[in-house]
Structure 1
Amino acid sequence: MGTIFLYEIGGTAMLILLGVGVVANVVLGKTKGNGGGWLLISFGWGLAVFAGVFVAFKTGAHLNPAVTIGILSSGAEEYAPGIAVNFGNTIAYLAAEMIGAMIGAFLAWAVYKKHYDEEKEAGNILGTFSTGPEIRSYGWNFVTEVIATFVLVFVILLFGGTPHELGPLAVGLLVVAIGASLGGPTGYAINPARDLGPRIVHALLPIPNKGSSDWSYSWVPIAGPLVGAIIAGLLSRAFI
């Protein structure tokens, strides 16, 4: 479990540092990347996954509770070479992913601290940390997250069972594709830790004008990805 904790915390922290960082660069005022647009955000998240997978390669680089649950649902014998599927390892993955996500969000805030201090729009501040819908409809927002996460986990499983076997670049490009094609309605969390960890950090940090952490929506980017992952894992059994 120690190996899982070390590598998954490091990989997920790298993912969230770069992912939250690219959104902050585009959304917050007076940054070099202000106004860079959705494609910059999508590519930034894809490259963040690319970096995170390299950091956590020894544990299969899940970086995402949805990937962990999807692999478990698929009935795969191992998460990564030498790491068996069992309750204890699953809990270790999930805990490390959450801890890493919170660390990464905190570090991204530290990089852009002065820009956060000057930002007046609460929605812009929260939007750098966590996802939110463009049109709030909890049921349809949930469906969006289910479908987007299904694509992520199903493709990962079909190409070898873990992100490490699929390859860092391929996973990163997959995330870019999901963001560009399916990310518009909700901001494509596709990762419960990616949304919940930074949302908790947003709630805890002393950021001026930050407003609410929008907890009423927070269940969608948790439940949607988990349901999508389970469906992907179960369906993958017919294809693998």
Structure 2
Amino acid sequence: MSTFTAELVGTMILILFGGGVVAGVSLHKSKGFGGGWVVITFAWGLGVAMAAYAVGGISGAHLNPALTIALATIGNFPWEDVPTYIAAQLIGAFLGGVLVYFMYLPHWKGTKDPEAKLAVFSTMPAIKHPLSNLISEMIGTFILVLGILALGTNTITDGMNPFLVGMLIVVIGMALGGPTGYAINPARDLGPRIAHFFLPIPGKRDSGWSYAWIPVVGPIIGGTFGALFFQQIFEGNNSITFWVFAIIVVIIFISAQMTVKNIKSEE
């Protein structure tokens, strides 16, 4: 199996499990209907772990463009392979979304809420405020990438890293996922969102394209800063890029605070 195929299959597995649990909890007459946030966060985490175990020995199981770009930024992954990995991740995420659609085929018509249908495929904010939502995705992905790199230096966890990364996803979901649904992965959000757009889902709403840039840009900024932070603080490797990203992050935080009065709850 090539690295392209491994990233595609791994990301497809991830979305099948992750999108599948959201469908099981959200779609009417599913056996898991009403299972709640804890069920969703654990299934997403275990889905990441299973996907990583499946393809980690072939491609490294990035399964996430934000992680791929972050690793390339600090020199841990070749830039020339980045487009191939991201393409595979997006295709895999799209196919995962399609599989979830067919898995729950009779349930779409029986579910009246168009928001619930979109939530199976992609994230939307609990309270819409672009800069605040961007920060939520940045922080979540910062912690994700920082945690992955820290685990990589710990020989005590050899063989357990995919499971531990999965548990990290669970914690991020429980603690940091409330504001936006914690995409923390551009492919995880964009690929299934495209699937939602094209699939003939009865009674669906629009695919939320005005929000779609946030779960793409936020994770890339946060993940890259997480990698640079690890390199700067943990490894003592001083980099001008770290300070550039730090300034960008501070500007975003200040801008969010200055516009907080304009926040309105979603109807």
Normalised-by-shorter TM-score class: over 0.9
- Number of the residue aligned with 2:137: 145
Question: Structure 1 length as normaliser, TM-score?
Answer: 0.92
1:16 aligns with 2:51: no
User: Mapping of 1:1-240 within 5 angstroms?
Assistant: 3-58=2-57, 59-76=59-76, 85-160=77-152, 167-238=161-232, 239-240=234-235
Contact 2:72 2:79 in 1 (8 A): no
Please identify runs of 4+ aligned residues in structure 1 that moved more than 6 A: none
- Number of the residue aligned with 2:260: none
Query: Which blocks of at least 5 consecutive residues in structure 2 are unaligned?
Result: 236-267
Question: Structure 2 length as normaliser, TM-score?
Answer: 0.83
Contact 1:156 1:166 in 2 (8 A): no
Secondary structure at 2:152's aligned position in 1? coil
Q: Deviations over 1:17-66 (max 9, x none)?
A: 00000000001110010000000000010011011101211211000011
CA–CA separation in structure 2 for the residues paired with 1:87 and 1:146: 22
Q: What amino acid does structure 1 have at the position aligned with 2:12?
A: A
Q: What amino acid does structure 2 have at the position aligned with 1:201?
A: A
CA–CA separation in structure 2 for the residues paired with 1:173 and 1:10: 21
Secondary structure at 1:159's aligned position in 2? helix
Q: What amino acid does structure 2 have at the position aligned with 1:151?
A: I
Q: Shift of the alpha carbon at 1:117?
A: 2.1
CA–CA separation in structure 2 for the residues paired with 1:74 and 1:151: 16
Q: Deviations over 1:73-112 (max 9, x none)?
A: 2222xxxxxxxx3233111111110011011111011100
Contact 2:146 2:230 in 1 (8 A): yes
Q: Deviations over 1:154-206 (max 9, x none)?
A: 11012217xx9762110110000000000000000000000000000000000
* Percent identical: 47
Q: Deviations over 1:212-236 (max 9, x none)?
A: 1010000000000000011011111
CA–CA separation in structure 1 for the residues paired with 2:221 and 2:88: 21
Aligned residue pairs, count: 231
Q: What amino acid does structure 2 have at the position aligned with 1:60?
A: G
Q: What amino acid does structure 1 have at the position aligned with 2:39?
A: L
Query: Which blocks of at least 5 consecutive residues in structure 1 are unaligned?
Result: 77-84
Report the aligned-residue RMSD: 1.7
Evaluate the alpha carbon distance shift between residue 217 and residue 8 of structure 1 in structure 2; reply closer, same or farther with a 3 A threshold: same
